[in-house]
């Protein structure tokens, strides 16, 4: 009986010590941050002299866009020429992976090639950038899109 | 010469002695279990691509203190996230390891550019590593244990070990005397 109680005391002590060590390690763990790492998306506009735009050329800036999220931005463009102009948009993208999608709209329509801007008229050029919910491999990547605008005077019909 | 009945202690006294022995054995074995547990917490991670490191500066105070031991797990750079505490080679001195918190990270081609900073620092460091490279993330820490390991590098350790060995010998001797008196009583 004596030896059994001694054995029990040893075993209980050992188990208690091990449990305390495990508790200490558990309490002192440094959990991974789990903070999402998004993609950086920046869309800039380069307007020509025929168009008046805001001083800030950044149309859209999303420093950390994650899957399933979208960001919108807009810039007002005003025709300062003597006639109507056809505005052409040419996008130069750097680091634009398949994960990041970009949509441009002007005058309420989805933009494909360009749009018509009447004399002294103004319109909002809107951009929407998003990453589909099932996208992968976009984490930490940076995308910069420069929208180079060019204009062509449309001759007035008699 | 003396008979067992003459030397045997009365039952209550024996019970008290027994209780005293149990009371001593429990904390002794609890301490042994604790030391064993900590040793396992440092040794077991080695089998899982992790390793213990001693914190030598206070740049990560109060999260990591000087003298703490951190157990770091090897990870791919793309698995790190802002907010993680990572260990990497010092961009200035490649022989030195630095453990700081990730503030920002960007992927540029086949390299990951990090901005890290110690919680107690006011200057960030910028460094990059290949996407196939390796960094480590702090999994857990054991406070103050690193001071013992640092002590191992100084000449105070032999004195400490000598003292511990002496204490162990003394304890063994006392246990032997205790046990022989116990067996005499039982005879």
Domain harbouring A102, CATH code: 2.60.40.1090
Residues of B with CB under 8 A from a CB of A: 18, 21-22, 25-38, 40-41, 63, 70, 78, 81-85, 102, 105-108, 112, 137-143
Average pLDDT, chain A: 86
Average pLDDT of the residues in B49-76 = 93
A16 and A90 inside one domain: no
Percent of chain A with pLDDT over 70: 94
Residue at A115 is within a domain: yes
pTM of the shown model? 0.73
Q: Are residues A24 and A80 in the same domain?
A: no
Please report the pLDDT score of residue B3 as a whole number: 44
Question: Does residue A72 sit in the same domain as residue A127?
Answer: yes
Clarify whether residues A52 and A77 are in a common domain: yes
Instruction: Flag if B81 and A36 touch (Cβ within 8 Å).
Output: yes
Co-location of A44 and A116 in the same domain: yes
- A124 with A82, same domain: the answer is yes
**Which positions in chain B touch A2 (Cβ < 8 Å)?**
18
Most confident of A94-98, B111-115, B173-177: B111-115
Domain that holds residue A18: 1-30
Of B128 and B4, the structure prediction assigns the larger pLDDT to: B128
The reply to whether A11 and A79 lie within a common domain is no
Domain boundaries, chain B: 8-48, 50-146, 154-187
Looking at the structure, tell me whether residues A18 and A93 fall in a common domain.
no
Q: Mean pLDDT throughout A118-143? A: 88
Q: What is the DSSP code string of chain B?
A: ---HHHHPPPHHHHHHHHHHHHHHHHHHHHHHHHHHHHHHHHHGGGGGTEEEEE--SSTTTTTS-TT-EEEEEEE-GGG--TT-EEEEE-SS-TTSEEEEEEEEEEEETTEEEEEEE-TT-S--EEEEEETTS-EEEEEEEETTHHHHHHHTTSTHHHHHHHHHHHHHHHHHHHHHHHHHHHHHHH-
Closest by Cβ to A6, choosing from B22, B41, B78: B22
Whether residue A125 is found in the same domain as residue A149: yes
Q: What is the mean pLDDT of residues A143-157?
A: 84
Residue B102 pLDDT greater than 90, yes or no:
yes
Asked whether residue A7 falls in the same domain as residue A57, the answer is no
Give a yes or no: residue A158 inside a domain: no
Indicate whether B59 pLDDT > 50. yes
- Provide the domain count of chain A: 2
Would you call B143 and A28 a contact, using CB atoms and an 8 Å cutoff?
A: yes
Banded pLDDT at B187 (limits 50, 70, 90) = low
What ipTM was predicted for this assembly?
A: 0.74
Residues A91, A21 share a domain: no
State yes or no: pLDDT of A19 exceeds 50.
yes
Whether residues A129 and A84 share a domain: the answer is: yes
Do the domain assignments include residue A46?
yes
Looking at the domain that runs over B50-146, which CATH code has it been given?
2.10.109.10
């Amino acid at each position: 009986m004596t030896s059994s109680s001694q054995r029990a005391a040893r075993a209980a002590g050992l188990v208690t010590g091990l449990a305390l060590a495990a508790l200490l390690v558990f309490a002192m763990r440094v959990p991974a941050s789990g903070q999402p790492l998004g993609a950086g998306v920046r869309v800039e506009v380069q307007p020509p002299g025929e168009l008046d735009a805001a001083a800030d050329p950044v149309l859209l800036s999303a420093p950390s866009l994650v899957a399933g999220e979208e960001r919108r931005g807009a810039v007002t463009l005003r025709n300062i020429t003597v006639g109507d102009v056809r505005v052409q948009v040419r996008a130069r993208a750097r680091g634009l992976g398949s994960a990041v999608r970009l949509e441009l709209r002007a005058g309420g329509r989805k933009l494909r090639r360009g749009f018509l801007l009447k004399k002294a008229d103004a319109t909002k050029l809107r951009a929407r950038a998003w990453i589909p919910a099932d996208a992968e491999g976009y984490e930490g990547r940076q995308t910069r899109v420069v929208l180079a605008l060019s204009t062509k005077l449309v001759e007035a019909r008699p | 010469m003396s008979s067992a009945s003459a030397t045997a202690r009365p039952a209550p006294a024996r019970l008290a002695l027994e209780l005293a022995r149990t009371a001593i054995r429990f904390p002794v074995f609890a301490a042994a279990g604790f030391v064993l547990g900590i040793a396992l917490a440092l040794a077991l991670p080695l089998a899982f691509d992790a390793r213990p490191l001693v914190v030598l500066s206070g740049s990560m105070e109060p999260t990591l203190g000087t003298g703490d031991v951190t157990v770091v797990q090897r990870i791919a750079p793309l698995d790190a996230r802002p907010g993680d505490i990572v260990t990497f080679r010092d961009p200035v001195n490649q022989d030195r390891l630095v453990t700081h918190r990730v503030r920002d990270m960007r992927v540029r081609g086949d390299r990951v550019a990090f901005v890290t900073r110690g919680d107690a620092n006011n200057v960030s460091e910028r460094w990059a590593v290949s996407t196939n490279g390796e960094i480590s993330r702090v999994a857990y820490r054991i406070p103050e244990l690193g001071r013992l390991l640092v002590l191992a590098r100084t000449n105070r350790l032999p004195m400490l070990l000598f003292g511990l060995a002496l204490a162990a010998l003394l304890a063994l001797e006392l246990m032997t005397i205790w046990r022989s008196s116990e067996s005499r009583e039982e005879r």
